[in-house]
Chains A and B, each alone.
Chain A
Amino acid sequence: MKFGVVVFPGSNCDADCYNAIADIPGAQVRYVWHKDRDISDLDCVVLPGGFSYGDYLRTGAIAALSPVMESVADFAKRGGLVLGICNGFQILLEAGLLPGAMRRNSTLTFICKDVYVKVERADTPFTSLYRQGQVIKMPIAHSDGNYYADQKTLDALETTGRVVFRYCDTEGLATAEHCPNGAMNNIAGIINESGNVLGLMPHPERCSEGVLGSGEDGRMLLMSCIHHLNRGR
């Protein structure tokens, strides 16, 4: 079971993702440099959070053109699991592997805090160990998490059940009031049509160890990936 964590210049959650994965028994993990193209040894590619290329121009825009992203696109096309967290999600959007775009948070500030999200789909490779409709706690830390898509895309995402995580209150109620950043339909995470590319703004790697104070709900996401891959073998 081998994970690869991509390191772009300016990535800053690469080591956090690496450590969270390495802590899970049975998981192997290595770093992938953004100029490498060979990722054939991997079962799951993680695009970590951070400020790739300083997040200058647009978040994720320059990283999306890195050599490794061509390989990631191929890998995804062949059904490989791709997980984009925060800046990784933004890179997936810019690379066209997921639909939509990110705007500045509606608060116009960076927001770092624990939020609640509802697991809208527990039947994806990334969420199989959650319960459908489960409310979980995960931290967010971003300036640009205000998800946007045109109405047609948004409708398609909703009708085909591709919204995987939605910001909500502790009871699972997803009203605008409980959306920290202004994202349309409270979208916190979406998956591609074939169900193997997930992007989300919250940081599962930051809630994988109880001692850090954000609970351990994020660990289940990483474990779900392993569970899925093990079943495939």
Chain B
Amino acid sequence: MESTYRQMGLSDMEYDRIKSVLGREPSLTELGMYAVLWSEHCAYKHSRKLLRTLPTTGEGILVGPGENAGAVEMGDYAIVFKIESHNHPVAIEPFQGAATGVGGIVRDILAMGARPVALLDSLRFGDPKEPRNKYLINGVVAGISAYGNAIGVPTVGGEVKFANAYSENPLCNVMCVGVVKKDRIAKGLARGPGNALMLVGARTGRDGIHGATFASEQLDETSEQKRPAVQVGDPFMEKLLIEACLELLDTPYVVGIQDMGAAGITSSVAETASRAKTGAELYLDNVPLRESGMSAYEIMLSESQERMLLIVKQGKEAEVAARCAKWGLLSAVIGRVTADGMLRVFHKGEKVAEVPVTSLTDDAPCYSLLPAPRPGTREEVPSVTDPDSTLLELLASPGISSKQWVYEQYDYMVQTNTVLRPGQDAALIRVRGTRGGIALSTDGNGRLVYLDPYEGAKAAVAEAARNVVCVGATPRAITNCLNFGNPEKPHIAYEFTQVVRGMGDACRALGTPVTGGNVSFYNETCGKAVYPTPVVGMLGVLDDILAAVTCAFKSEGDVVLLLGPDRVSFAGSELQYLQYGAPSGTPVPVDLEMEVRLQKTVLSLMKKRLVKSAHDLSEGGLAVALAECCIDQALGASVELADDTMPLPLSLFAEGPSRIIITCSPEHLHEIRRCCGEAGVPCRVLGTVVKGVLSIARAGETCLRVSVDHIISKWRG
């Protein structure tokens, strides 16, 4: 037994705990059930305590963490959203890993009763020139494309970033957004003893048995042999599931719904019963199988994709089965809700498991972290001899250059609600039936977080919020995906602790509570961890989609303004990475009060229709941001830098928080200055929009001059 439970990833202490809960030795099936539900992936053993410190409530927050996804109020509707990682499967099989990552998060949204309306992907890879990384990138993009496109959910945004630290451990975080009438939000509750537990969708095979524990382990050279844990996605089945479940949720027959993700039947039944404070009986002989001879252990732990659990009113099973059959889906009554809080499992006439439901969901041990910071680094300062060529080099770098080759493979238009397409500061989709829309962005600069986890996390939240502000939307809430190495190591524990603290502070300041998400630890291979990468998925709301703003300069003669403070540094910047291959130094801290003032001011200027374009300054600093504004309408700008005390390279290419470039008609300049002055937001006129060329001068002398055609061709690659 000892070697068995250790193989399953349980510690001696955890095994003893199971024995004391049951008052006896567990059966093999029971042991497997505990092993998956007590895995890091399901039980958040190392992160639970800290995550409780995050703000989770606020005005208009309809559902917070703990359900299948968070929900934010928008008129009569609830906007449901969540982000989740699928890093480990992607490292093993990029195409299927990414495809099933999309499938899993879509079912989380579906389990809220919402129609999935948008997907975003936040991806991190190693150097794209290395063949293995190239293979991973192409596989992941193709997998997202194959799955998302087929189920008819538009992939409207996300980001792709590169750094050597992700070489062996790519990150694939997928965010899904759904819309449901707010009085129709579904719940993952196994209510009403006697009600039926129905499994709908794919047959159960030996897929990914112990995938949840697999996700909680470090990868090593033998990981490739553990490959049976990888599953194949069937987007066609998923599409049928979406339509059938939404149709069924419109009937009075279904009282609860839950997706079957990690740990399959075990977790979905345990979680729904635990939330409803009920119990359940399962009859595994009724589960439709794909392979013969599967044991109770295998059936309980199978992670076969495209399955949902429905809790159906007693006596209405036939009606539900008929609706499923209409969509060509299998369904089966696999159990019943009971009142006594126990989960009993029967197979081939025998009782193979009998455990208290809450012991699976609530009794996993909670571990404290032992944080210790890593020593700081001395800042390497990049050299800039020719600003023109530095700008072009940055525009052509993998992190900044056009991602059209990626998003062109995604159907970002299906459902005909996409107002702003990939490539803007944030995506914007219409909420059909209203005049409004929702703005979405994902952000998380691992380099900054690596240098300063607390400030880096603040920066991630602030930038994600700034991005939705730049298209005209008010930030409302976030979902987060926290990607880290092994938390049992002190410096990673430190990173995690500081990130959660920074994220909490930023979310409180910006009024964007955390509505859910996930934690992915053990993103390391042979002792080399990824940069700590908290990915923030931001949801913003816009009352009128016709008032949306884009980043492109609009007309010649418009005034270009820079809003926000002048605090920048090369620490963690794109240029530093480009020249030194690693981040170093101490990034500029985020002044959250300034950030809030800046965002509020820009939104109020937009409300007055004074802003013709808006763009967040991020990787590559001021020069890159200006160049990016030139691209869409092929317009340039003539800019004069007032400050000649700062070294020129710093003015042009260094990075700092809380900065936005806007343009306006000359007649509105006065009003904008007045508003910024009143709000205490620094506001400087940079210059004007002109034809054909981006030029930057200082003290009357031109220091950078590049044609817009050149900018576009370098950026497109």
By a beta-carbon cutoff of 8 Å, the part of chain A in contact with chain B is: 9-10, 12-13, 15-16, 19-20, 49-51, 53-56, 109-113, 139, 141, 143, 203, 205-206, 208-209, 211-214
When distances are taken between beta carbons in the complex, the residues of chain B under 8 Å from A208 are 416
Interface string of B322-336 (1 = CB under 8 A from A): 000001100000000
Q: B239 interface residue, CB < 8 Å from A?
A: yes
Q: Let me know if A16 and B419 touch, CB within 8 A.
A: no
17 extra A-B contacts, CB within 8 A, seeds A12-B414, A15-B415, A109-B409 = A16-B414, A49-B414, A51-B149, A53-B236, A54-B237, A109-B142, A109-B145, A109-B408, A112-B149, A112-B408, A139-B413, A203-B413, A205-B416, A206-B413, A211-B419, A211-B546, A212-B417
Inter-chain CA distance A139–B408, complex, in Å, is: 11
Q: Let me know if A51 and B235 touch, CB within 8 A.
A: yes
Q: Let me know if B150 and A54 touch, CB within 8 A.
A: yes
Q: Let me know if A213 and B419 touch, CB within 8 A.
A: yes
Inter-chain CA distance A181–B237, complex, in Å, is: 28
Inter-chain CA distance A54–B415, complex, in Å, is: 18
When distances are taken between beta carbons in the complex, the residues of chain A under 8 Å from B151 are 12
Q: B412 interface residue, CB < 8 Å from A?
A: yes
Q: Let me know if B235 and A141 touch, CB within 8 A.
A: no
Q: B240 interface residue, CB < 8 Å from A?
A: yes
5 A–B contacts from the bound complex (CB under 8 Å): A53-B236, A109-B142, A112-B149, A112-B412, A213-B420
Least Cβ distance of A69 to chain B in Å? 17
When distances are taken between beta carbons in the complex, the residues of chain B under 8 Å from A141 are 149, 411, 413-414
When distances are taken between beta carbons in the complex, the residues of chain A under 8 Å from B412 are 112
Q: Let me know if B414 and A54 touch, CB within 8 A.
A: no
Q: B410 interface residue, CB < 8 Å from A?
A: yes
When distances are taken between beta carbons in the complex, the residues of chain B under 8 Å from A55 are 150, 236
Decide yes or no: A111 and B409 within 8 Å by CB, A212-B416, A212-B419 being known contacts: yes
Q: B421 interface residue, CB < 8 Å from A?
A: yes
Query: Looking across the interface, which residue of chain B has its beta carbon closest to that of A109?
Result: B409
Inter-chain CA distance A10–B408, complex, in Å, is: 21
Interface string of B270-283 (1 = CB under 8 A from A): 00000000000000
Inter-chain CA distance A203–B234, complex, in Å, is: 25
Inter-chain CA distance A10–B421, complex, in Å, is: 24
Query: Looking across the interface, which residue of chain A has its beta carbon closest to that of B414?
Result: A12
Least Cβ distance of B288 to chain A in Å? 18
Query: Looking across the interface, which residue of chain A has its beta carbon closest to that of B413?
Result: A206
When distances are taken between beta carbons in the complex, the residues of chain A under 8 Å from B557 are none
Inter-chain CA distance A71–B407, complex, in Å, is: 38
Q: B545 interface residue, CB < 8 Å from A?
A: yes
Decide yes or no: A112 and B409 within 8 Å by CB, A54-B236, A211-B546 being known contacts: yes
The contact of B416 among A10, A19, A50, A143, by CB within 8 Å, is A19
Q: B442 interface residue, CB < 8 Å from A?
A: no
The contact of B240 among A9, A143, A214, by CB within 8 Å, is A9
When distances are taken between beta carbons in the complex, the residues of chain A under 8 Å from B371 are none
When distances are taken between beta carbons in the complex, the residues of chain B under 8 Å from A211 are 419, 430, 545-546
Q: Let me know if B419 and A12 touch, CB within 8 A.
A: no
Q: Let me know if B421 and A20 touch, CB within 8 A.
A: no
Query: Looking across the interface, which residue of chain B has its beta carbon closest to that of A208?
Result: B416
Q: Let me know if A50 and B152 touch, CB within 8 A.
A: yes
Inter-chain CA distance A214–B412, complex, in Å, is: 12
Inter-chain CA distance A224–B150, complex, in Å, is: 30
Least Cβ distance of B229 to chain A in Å? 24
Inter-chain CA distance A110–B145, complex, in Å, is: 7
**Most interface-central of A10, A15, A203 (chain B CB within 10 A):** A10
When distances are taken between beta carbons in the complex, the residues of chain B under 8 Å from A56 are 236
The contact of B411 among A15, A20, A110, A205, by CB within 8 Å, is A110
Q: B167 interface residue, CB < 8 Å from A?
A: no
Interface residues of B in 114-133 (CB under 8 A from A): none
Q: B618 interface residue, CB < 8 Å from A?
A: no
Q: Let me know if B418 and A51 touch, CB within 8 A.
A: no
Inter-chain CA distance A110–B149, complex, in Å, is: 9
Q: Count of A-B contacts with CB under 8 A? A: 88
Query: Looking across the interface, which residue of chain B has its beta carbon closest to that of A54?
Result: B236
Q: Let me know if B235 and A9 touch, CB within 8 A.
A: no
The contact of B413 among A54, A143, A212, by CB within 8 Å, is A212
When distances are taken between beta carbons in the complex, the residues of chain B under 8 Å from A12 are 150-152, 239, 414
The contact of A51 among B236, B417, B545, by CB within 8 Å, is B236
**Most interface-central of B234, B239, B328 (chain A CB within 10 A):** B239
Least Cβ distance of A84 to chain B in Å? 17
Q: Let me know if A113 and B408 touch, CB within 8 A.
A: yes
Q: Let me know if A16 and B409 touch, CB within 8 A.
A: no
Query: Looking across the interface, which residue of chain A has its beta carbon closest to that of B141?
Result: A109
Query: Looking across the interface, which residue of chain B has its beta carbon closest to that of A52?
Result: B236
Inter-chain CA distance A141–B432, complex, in Å, is: 22
Interface residues of B in 223-239 (CB under 8 A from A): 234-237, 239
Inter-chain CA distance A174–B529, complex, in Å, is: 51
Least Cβ distance of A207 to chain B in Å? 9
Inter-chain CA distance A50–B150, complex, in Å, is: 7
Inter-chain CA distance A203–B419, complex, in Å, is: 16
Q: Let me know if B430 and A110 touch, CB within 8 A.
A: no
Q: Let me know if A16 and B416 touch, CB within 8 A.
A: yes
When distances are taken between beta carbons in the complex, the residues of chain A under 8 Å from B546 are 211
Least Cβ distance of A33 to chain B in Å? 9
Query: Looking across the interface, which residue of chain A has its beta carbon closest to that of B405?
Result: A109
Q: Let me know if A9 and B408 touch, CB within 8 A.
A: no
What 7 A-B pairs have minimum CB-CB distances, sorted nearest first? A12-B152, A54-B236, A51-B150, A16-B416, A141-B411, A110-B409, A110-B145
Inter-chain CA distance A55–B237, complex, in Å, is: 12
Least Cβ distance of B715 to chain A in Å? 17
Inter-chain CA distance A110–B414, complex, in Å, is: 14
Q: Let me know if A20 and B327 touch, CB within 8 A.
A: no
Inter-chain CA distance A111–B146, complex, in Å, is: 11
Q: Let me know if B234 and A212 touch, CB within 8 A.
A: no
Inter-chain CA distance A55–B234, complex, in Å, is: 11
Inter-chain CA distance A49–B149, complex, in Å, is: 11
Query: Looking across the interface, which residue of chain B has its beta carbon closest to that of A20?
Result: B416
Least Cβ distance of A210 to chain B in Å? 10
When distances are taken between beta carbons in the complex, the residues of chain B under 8 Å from A139 are 413
Inter-chain CA distance A51–B432, complex, in Å, is: 23
Interface residues of B in 196-241 (CB under 8 A from A): 234-237, 239-240
Inter-chain CA distance A112–B418, complex, in Å, is: 13
When distances are taken between beta carbons in the complex, the residues of chain A under 8 Å from B430 are 211
When distances are taken between beta carbons in the complex, the residues of chain A under 8 Å from B418 are 212-213
**Most interface-central of B236, B411, B415 (chain A CB within 10 A):** B411
When distances are taken between beta carbons in the complex, the residues of chain A under 8 Å from B416 are 16, 19-20, 205-206, 208-209, 212
When distances are taken between beta carbons in the complex, the residues of chain B under 8 Å from A110 are 145-146, 149, 409-411
Query: Looking across the interface, which residue of chain A has its beta carbon closest to that of B145?
Result: A110
Inter-chain CA distance A12–B149, complex, in Å, is: 9
Inter-chain CA distance A110–B99, complex, in Å, is: 15
Inter-chain CA distance A110–B147, complex, in Å, is: 11
Inter-chain CA distance A16–B117, complex, in Å, is: 13
Inter-chain CA distance A206–B418, complex, in Å, is: 10
When distances are taken between beta carbons in the complex, the residues of chain A under 8 Å from B152 are 12-13, 50-51
Q: Let me know if B421 and A213 touch, CB within 8 A.
A: yes
When distances are taken between beta carbons in the complex, the residues of chain B under 8 Å from A113 are 408
Q: Let me know if B328 and A112 touch, CB within 8 A.
A: no
Least Cβ distance of A102 to chain B in Å? 16
Q: Let me know if A112 and B415 touch, CB within 8 A.
A: no
Interface residues of B in 395-448 (CB under 8 A from A): 407-421, 430, 432
Inter-chain CA distance A50–B242, complex, in Å, is: 14
Q: Let me know if A51 and B239 touch, CB within 8 A.
A: yes
Interface residues of B in 148-176 (CB under 8 A from A): 149-152
**Most interface-central of A9, A20, A113, A213 (chain B CB within 10 A):** A9
